Structure 1
Amino acid sequence: MTTGLGEMRARKSAFRRATANVVTAALFGLVGALTLLPSPAKAWWNDDWSLRKKITIDASASGANITDPIGTTPVLIRLHVGNFRFASAKDDGSDLRFVAGDDKTPLKHHIEKYDSLLGEALVWVAVPNVQAGAKSDIWLYSGNKKAVATGDAKGTYDPETLLVYHFNERGTPSLDSSVWANNAQSVAQPAEGAIIGTGLRLDGNTALTLPASPSLALPANSALTWAAWIKPAALQPNAALYSRRDAAAANGLIIGLDNGAPFVEVTTAGTVQRSGAGAPIAPGSWHQLAVVANNGQIALYLDGNPYASVAAALPALNTTALVGGDTPTAVAAPAAPPSAPQPDAPAAPGADGGAADAAPAAPVAVAAMAGFVGDIDELQIAKIARPAGFIRFAAVGQGPDQAKLVSFSVDEQTASWLSGYFAVILKSVTLDGWVVIGILVIMAALSWVVMVDRVRYLSKQSKANDYFMKRFREVATDLTVLDRGEEGEAAPLGAGFTEADTMAMRGSSLYRIYHIGAGEIRHRFAKNGARAPVLSATSIAAIRAALDSGVVKEMQKLNRLMVVLTIAISGGPFLGLLGTVVGVMITFAAIAASGDVNVNAIAPGIAAALVATVAGLGVAIPALFGYNYLISRIKELTNDIQVFVDEFVTKMAEFYDADRDRPDPVGHRTAAE
């Protein structure tokens, strides 16, 4: 018996060593996996910032496909919850820094809008020497609570930029973001939800007045670039969007729309020239309109593409300008033909004694055009002719197709391995997703506790059953000789049992069933007195029924808590799916609210929503494997119990048959004794 106990202890020690080896291997595997996670590059502009993100400006064929020269240009960076971690940055965005692709050169930038509560930001960054047909990278740094604001609107634009209006003011004249400080001279109504933050609403009656500053003065035949985003409210005939006239010199420059068709009109000394009409633009839609004048040619661009042109040079203009209105002026009238002389009437003598010359034509007053009705946003004026690539870059980079030009990579975190895709996904999970994941974590913990508990219990039962069956098969004549009582009772003496043997057997489910049968046999023999121990068929059937009740209880013990695993298997994926569906709904709702529809806005939210499904599968898959393994072990132990009951009943019928000769009717001892 001592040898059997020692063998059992040796097996237990071997099991523990094997478990320790498995745990060690798992830890090494985990460390190895962590080394494969994306790690931040060694180059880091400043270690005081904890986060950085690469922004790619793609002008190649795979992106915006801009083939004309671009040069240095301001780039609009739209930040939202899908591509930026507002919780890690300062509430006012003053810790934002933009660094060139070499990760060494800081870039000038300024913030037009920053709302950490809504998770929206508009930032303009001066990117030098953007190459056409190629990709350029810049870095966005954030996550430094001690940083101070370094936004520089004046430095974001080159000196050739004369005027930049973002129209984000309320109740005050529009402020110029360029170095020339050409602020507006009147107040206009703001328009919420423009294509870039807040725009300006024009009603056709009240125009925005631009100053007649020396920097905005235009010499004759000068270069000019004018650009703005417009959204006409209706189709208007001859509506002036931008008007600058010099009545004294009969000069003027009008940019407007004629029944939806953009045009540019130049008046030089009373002579009017207008660009040809193209396809009209639909009311209620945003479009970028740009005018470039250079070397006697004026080109009109719509959404970055050539639209119309006129062979004319800009006249000299140094007056105020109007946005959304026009002023009357005068143009030269055509000379009237000389009237025919009357018969017999002498001709009027001229200065040289001849006939008098025709009188010069007097200027003819021209009524002002109607004011533009609609919204306008991001007005820019420069004193040079911007290249076509620059115009196209602005149209794509500021409009709804910005995702073709500007893309964001994952966040990188300094001094931490927890970065890359997985970190970005986790930080994009919404509150509802974390609630579902929390429930799934609890389910996973419960399922693992159940699996560990059941494995230990079944292993203990298997070893105890093996030990008990070895002793049971040594029984020769008396089936009750192995009965040591129930746990907690004092073990009866005899049969060479030690306390360790008794404890080993009491842990066996077979022993507990055997204890029921031994008790039933002993109960019936107590009524026989000195008579031989004999069991009738009815008694054997009754004892079999008692054994079956014990079998039911033992099977209940074996299957205890298994329902937790079935709940984890079936409920985990459905809970994860619920979290994913809710997360996707919230993501699309946020996109609809912000109006920024692109892959970069959708992808992080969708990926974060899928974390709930992954968590549900992470609960269900281990529970499924564990459940199948445990069920197979339970089935084996159940079969052992059924076999033991049959064997016990068979031996009971054999040992206590009425026809068997029993020399020792009182002692009930085994043949070994």
Structure 2
Amino acid sequence: MRRILFLALSLMGALWPGLSHAWWQPDWAYRKPITLDAGPQGAAIGGDAGRAPVLVRLHTGNFSFEGVSENGADLRFVAADDKTVLNHQIEQFDPLLGMALVWVDVPALPAGTPQQIWMYYGNKKAAASGNGQRSFDPDYTLVYHFAEANAPARDTTAYGNNAQTTVVSAEGTVIGRGAQLGRAPLMLPASPSLAVAAGSPFTFSAWIRPEALGPRQIVYARHDGSAQLILGVDQGVPFVEVNGQRSAPGQPVQAGQWSHLALKATADSVTLLVGGRVASRLSTGLPALGTAAAVGADGPQGQGAFAGAIDELRLSKVARPDALLLADAVSQGSDSKLTKFGADEQQAGKSHFGFILAAMPLDAWVVVAILGLMMAVSWIIMIGKGRAFGAMERANTDFMTRFRETAGNPLDSLASGDRVAAAVKADSPLWRLYAVAIEELQRRHERGYDVNAVSASTIGAIRAAMDGVMVRESEKMARRMNWLSTTIEGAPYVGLFGTVIGIMLVFVVAAMAGAVDINSVAPGMAAALLCTAAGLGVAIPALFGYNWLAARSDAIGADMAVFVDEFSTRLAEEQGEGRQARAPVTTMRSA
């Protein structure tokens, strides 16, 4: 029984990793875990926010943009159960710049245990599924991302409350693109979905950045007869007015800085929130409002114009929870602590090295391509030199065997006939030394010198001719060896250059995106360090090959030096002065 229980537990342990890492659909090749932490260690919203549109901000620090379609159409967001597909909307997706802004509809955002969702990608055949009408719950009556360039703002909810006027686009806002206010107000439509009944709930929220602090700068205004609702900033202090009743001063905002401004109304109160925190409260409900509203001024005439920028404007027909407004304020900026990104995974079990390759930017690939070219050339040289030196060593061995067999015979006996194979003559440096010596001796005989005996001056001349050939043979063996030495010294520096550039880009992108966690910078750092590893991978084999080839070249050079000495000695012994005259040396013509 114990054995059966042990085997059952072992089988469950073996199967559990596969069960816990189930894949949503096989058509998607990659996925990335995203942890949403609204607790004290994360966004610290202090309460349950309920259903919330969460901004997923992708950049090269946390996402490589490799394997995903050009417009992000294959992005899918799945709950932790790996079954429930979450609605999402793409506000911006630019793989060339390495930036993407995606809103994901999270059914619940509790302040307790962190929850994980999956982002799937890597299916080129997938059709786009992002839809803002489903990403924001039906209680949102107007949502402007201001993603359109110098065009009327488009409402991404199902109500279609598009702006009635055009404002100038503002780049580099808190979330992608925003709108520049101050010249003319942004007029909202007087649609039934935006009408507010007396005492009904209502929520307004937006990011604002005043250029300068002045008196009574209107952010949102709506008049319907004597009924009035105004939200603005007075000398840097946000305020709300309902039918002339103004809120007490609260937390101020700063010029040139982004601040999240919101108001929510219930049946008996209107609350002003700055940065997601309650700043002041009026003990009154809203009046009935059914006319058009103005953003950035008190009506279409432009009184009390707000000079500054605005981004992510939202209206709701319910009073949003304080925790949700706080979550918006602390998670939509670049320094969000709500979302944490894990390492990418591949369905087929992609290795860590594969993830590093996927995270490599273009500049790293350029460096690796250069190193690859250097490696290819160095290996071609090493293989070619190794084969050439091997042929030289075999030919030299064969020639020396034949040469030593001629002891006591005329020195030119190898030059006549076919005693030396053609391959030896083609590959052996010793043969070329021998041949130039015979040619030099023949030339002197043809001129009438040293017919009966070889003088010391002739031996010196022959030795000088052989030394010249030896120098040329040494140069031939050293040819292209300088490329190997350049590869040994230069490849690590090329790799280090790629690493430095890569690390610079990682920190720049992280600073621009406001990402400071290890998961956002680790992939880029690993990809940058891969350049140094590639440089060392090119240099180390070249170093070993260079030393091996240099040793073989030195050995062949030593054989040539020994042969010159041996040949000169035999020449002096067999045909030098003081010896009996020998037969004239046969010419090289028969060779």
TM-score between both structures, scaled by the size of structure 2? 0.80
Structure 1 counterpart of 2:126, from 132, 140, 147: 147
Quick one: distance in 1 between partners of 2:192 and 2:304?
A: 25
Quick one: distance in 2 between partners of 1:615 and 1:285?
A: 44
Matched, 1:492 2:412: no
Quick one: distance in 2 between partners of 1:247 and 1:127?
A: 40
Report the CA distance between 1:126 and its aligned residue.
0.3
1:184-583 aligned within 5 A:
186-193=164-171, 194-203=173-182, 206-209=185-188, 211=190, 213=192, 216-220=195-199, 223-245=201-223, 247-248=225-226, 252-267=228-243, 272-278=245-251, 280-293=252-265, 299-304=271-276, 306=277, 308-310=279-281, 312-320=283-291, 321-326=293-298, 370-402=304-336, 404-409=337-342, 411-414=344-347, 417=350, 420-426=354-360, 428-429=361-362, 437-478=368-409, 480=411, 483=414, 485=415, 492=417, 497=419, 503-504=423-424, 507-521=427-441, 534-573=453-492, 575-576=494-495
Match of 1:371, SS? coil
Report the CA distance between 1:436 and its aligned residue.
5.2
Does the Cα contact within 8 Å between 2:453 and 2:582 map onto a contact in 1? no
Q: Deviations over 1:428-475 (max 9, x none)?
A: 325xx6555444433322211110011112222233334444554555
Does the Cα contact within 8 Å between 2:155 and 2:163 map onto a contact in 1? no
- When residues 142 and 214 of structure 1 are mapped into structure 2, their CA distance, relative to the original with a 3 A threshold, is closer
Match of 1:447, SS? helix
- When residues 227 and 526 of structure 1 are mapped into structure 2, their CA distance, relative to the original with a 3 A threshold, is same
Match of 1:150, SS? coil
Matched, 1:99 2:78: yes
Report the CA distance between 1:645 and its aligned residue.
1.9
Does the Cα contact within 8 Å between 2:142 and 2:316 map onto a contact in 1? yes
Match of 1:140, SS? strand
Does the Cα contact within 8 Å between 1:66 and 1:393 map onto a contact in 2? yes
Report the CA distance between 1:575 and its aligned residue.
4.9
Q: Which one-letter code corresponds to 2:565 in the other structure?
A: D
Q: Which one-letter code corresponds to 1:277 in the other structure?
A: G
Report the CA distance between 1:424 and its aligned residue.
1.2
Q: Which one-letter code corresponds to 2:417 in the other structure?
A: P
- When residues 474 and 72 of structure 1 are mapped into structure 2, their CA distance, relative to the original with a 3 A threshold, is same
Partner of 1:56: 35
Partner of 2:55: 76
Does the Cα contact within 8 Å between 2:167 and 2:180 map onto a contact in 1? yes
Report the CA distance between 1:135 and its aligned residue.
3.8
Q: Deviations over 1:67-91 (max 9, x none)?
A: 4333321112334566657685555
- When residues 301 and 473 of structure 1 are mapped into structure 2, their CA distance, relative to the original with a 3 A threshold, is farther
- When residues 133 and 197 of structure 1 are mapped into structure 2, their CA distance, relative to the original with a 3 A threshold, is same
Q: Deviations over 1:610-651 (max 9, x none)?
A: 665555444433323322221222122222322332233233
Does the Cα contact within 8 Å between 2:459 and 2:568 map onto a contact in 1? yes
- Between the aligned residues of both structures, percent identity stands at 41
Q: Which one-letter code corresponds to 2:211 in the other structure?
A: A
Does the Cα contact within 8 Å between 2:222 and 2:294 map onto a contact in 1? yes
- When residues 295 and 633 of structure 1 are mapped into structure 2, their CA distance, relative to the original with a 3 A threshold, is farther
Quick one: distance in 2 between partners of 1:319 and 1:109?
A: 31
Report the CA distance between 1:555 and its aligned residue.
0.8
Report the CA distance between 1:226 and its aligned residue.
2.6
Q: Which one-letter code corresponds to 1:45 in the other structure?
A: W
Partner of 1:23: none
Where does the alignment leave 5 or more consecutive residues of structure 2 unmatched? 1-17, 587-591
Report the CA distance between 1:528 and its aligned residue.
8.3
Structure 1 counterpart of 2:111, from 109, 128, 132: 132
Partner of 1:123: 102
Aligned length: 563
Q: Deviations over 1:477-522 (max 9, x none)?
A: 3461662x4xxxxx616xxx5x66x745763322322333344456
Task: Between 120-129 and 435-444, report the one with greater CA deviation.
Answer: 435-444
Q: Alpha carbon RMSD of aligned pairs, Å?
A: 4.2
Does the Cα contact within 8 Å between 2:238 and 2:249 map onto a contact in 1? no
Quick one: distance in 1 between partners of 2:152 and 2:376?
A: 62
Q: Deviations over 1:406-441 (max 9, x none)?
A: 344455455585884233134x325xx655544443
Report the CA distance between 1:120 and its aligned residue.
4.7
TM-score between both structures, scaled by the size of structure 1? 0.71
Task: Between 134-143 and 543-552, report the one with greater CA deviation.
Answer: 134-143
Does the Cα contact within 8 Å between 1:89 and 1:95 map onto a contact in 2? yes
Quick one: distance in 1 between partners of 2:150 and 2:582?
A: 114
Quick one: distance in 2 between partners of 1:259 and 1:398?
A: 26
Does the Cα contact within 8 Å between 2:178 and 2:310 map onto a contact in 1? yes
Match of 1:104, SS? coil
Matched, 1:636 2:555: yes
Q: Which one-letter code corresponds to 1:442 in the other structure?
A: L
Match of 1:76, SS? strand
Q: Which one-letter code corresponds to 1:105 in the other structure?
A: T
Does the Cα contact within 8 Å between 2:204 and 2:263 map onto a contact in 1? yes
Where does the alignment leave 5 or more consecutive residues of structure 1 unmatched? 1-38, 329-367, 486-490
Q: Deviations over 1:151-177 (max 9, x none)?
A: 332221223334322234578754443
Does the Cα contact within 8 Å between 1:111 and 1:151 map onto a contact in 2? yes
Match of 1:130, SS? coil
- When residues 207 and 462 of structure 1 are mapped into structure 2, their CA distance, relative to the original with a 3 A threshold, is closer
Q: Which one-letter code corresponds to 1:400 in the other structure?
A: S
1:178-189 aligned within 5 A:
178-179=157-158, 181=159, 183=161, 186-189=164-167
- Whichever of the two has the greater Rg, that structure is 1
- When residues 575 and 326 of structure 1 are mapped into structure 2, their CA distance, relative to the original with a 3 A threshold, is same
Q: Which one-letter code corresponds to 1:258 in the other structure?
A: D
Quick one: distance in 2 between partners of 1:258 and 1:127?
A: 36
Report the CA distance between 1:587 and its aligned residue.
7.8
Report the CA distance between 1:538 and its aligned residue.
1.4
Structure 1 counterpart of 2:91, from 85, 99, 112: 112
Does the Cα contact within 8 Å between 2:222 and 2:228 map onto a contact in 1? yes
- When residues 247 and 530 of structure 1 are mapped into structure 2, their CA distance, relative to the original with a 3 A threshold, is closer
- When residues 308 and 512 of structure 1 are mapped into structure 2, their CA distance, relative to the original with a 3 A threshold, is same
Quick one: distance in 1 between partners of 2:250 and 2:90?
A: 38
Quick one: distance in 1 between partners of 2:386 and 2:402?
A: 25
- When residues 550 and 187 of structure 1 are mapped into structure 2, their CA distance, relative to the original with a 3 A threshold, is same
Quick one: distance in 1 between partners of 2:309 and 2:371?
A: 50
Match of 1:129, SS? coil
Report the CA distance between 1:287 and its aligned residue.
1.6
Quick one: distance in 2 between partners of 1:141 and 1:373?
A: 42
Quick one: distance in 1 between partners of 2:193 and 2:574?
A: 124
Q: Deviations over 1:260-282 (max 9, x none)?
A: 12223444xx6x2413333x322
